[in-house]
Amino acid sequence: MKREIYYFAWICFLSLMNACTSEEGLGIEAGQQDKDGKIELAFTGTAPTRSTTTTISPEEAKNFLITVSQGERIIRGPQTLGTMDMRFPVGQGYKVYAESCTESDAESNNNNWGQKRFTGSSAEFGINKGATTKVKVGMSVVNASLCVIINPSLSNYFKKSCTVTLSDADRGLIWNYDNAGKTENGVSTDGQVAYFNVNEGETRTIHYTIIVANDNKTITKEGTVSLSRAKMVRLNLAYDSGFFNLTVNVNDDDLYVNNELNLGPENIIQDDGATDAIGGNDDFHTDGTEVDYDQYN
């Protein structure tokens, strides 16, 4: 009788070990593989009627920083879209926040000239079991830009030098004849562009100093310019009868994505099986290299 009891206990122990190996040993709760769904992101622009538009490519979008939250809790991110596991537990109240770069990077990248920054968020949505939910994220430009354009009337007279300096916090940005925009045959080019963060509903004042010189004359002019979100300011410099002719042009420059930019799980990662745990390490990039999610935890 004791031998039968020992034998039964041994069979139960082996069964328990086998169950742990098949599910818990993989870091998965029992049945977890059947309790998740995927999301597909569609980035859309906010201003399809603007004459000046900006588009983003799928490769650029894969570098966007994505944060997925549920209520007040962040589920995943911020993490680049191209490395994010797009599977999430079934539930309601999810939201996606996307940004093309951080606020700090928007001014420090490209040797402090900065870069255009897009941000956007989705409406709340739910994740359904075994389904892919398409989520639209409306993106818009949230910083301002500025460039300097030098007219030949100035460059032909002040042949020695022309410098335009912007003094703003720790940034000292300088335009000269080499990097400024130019006007030739009535056509202007922007040249080097600088980007500045602007708080929502506010403007930002930037101080500038212009110094021009020829062999026998130097003129200095100082002033300020007001920057607004999603606007480009162009300082057009000209010289007429001993005076600067400084004009400021403001252009709308919002984001517009034509026909939506859809990025689903199938063109971000390749899943090698639907039984791996959420956030597991056995997903792969499109080039076949393994995605290391631990580095983002």
Asked if 141 contacts 255 with a C-beta cutoff of 8 angstroms, the reply is yes
Mean pLDDT of 148-168: 92
Please tell me the predicted confidence (pLDDT) of residue 249. Answer: 83
Q: What is the pLDDT of residue 59?
A: 84
CA distance 125 to 87: 14
Instruction: Determine the pLDDT at residue 32.
Output: 45
Nearest to 136 by CA among 58, 40, 267: 40
Angle at 53 between CA 50 and CA 58, to 5 degrees: 140
- For the stretch 195-243, pLDDT in tens is 999 999 999 999 999 999 998 889 899 999 999 999 999 999 999 877 8
What number of residues does the chain have?
A: 297
When pLDDT is averaged across residues 122-126 and rounded to a whole number, the result is 96
This prediction's pTM: 0.74
Nearest 5 degrees, angle CA 97-CA 102-CA 105?
A: 160
Q: Which two tokens stand for residue 19?
A: 């169950």
Per-residue tokens: 179: 């990097």
The domains found in the chain, sorted by start residue, are 26-142+255-296 (no CATH), 144-252 (2.60.40)
Query: Within a 10 A sphere around the Cβ of 150, how many other Cβ atoms?
Result: 25
Q: How confident is the model at residue 168 (pLDDT cuts 50, 70, 90)?
A: confident
pLDDT at 15: 45
| pLDDT(287) > 50 | no
pLDDT of 88 > 50? The answer is yes
The mean pLDDT of 166-188, rounded to a whole number, is 87
Nearest 10 degrees: CA dihedral of 49, 231, 101, 104? -170
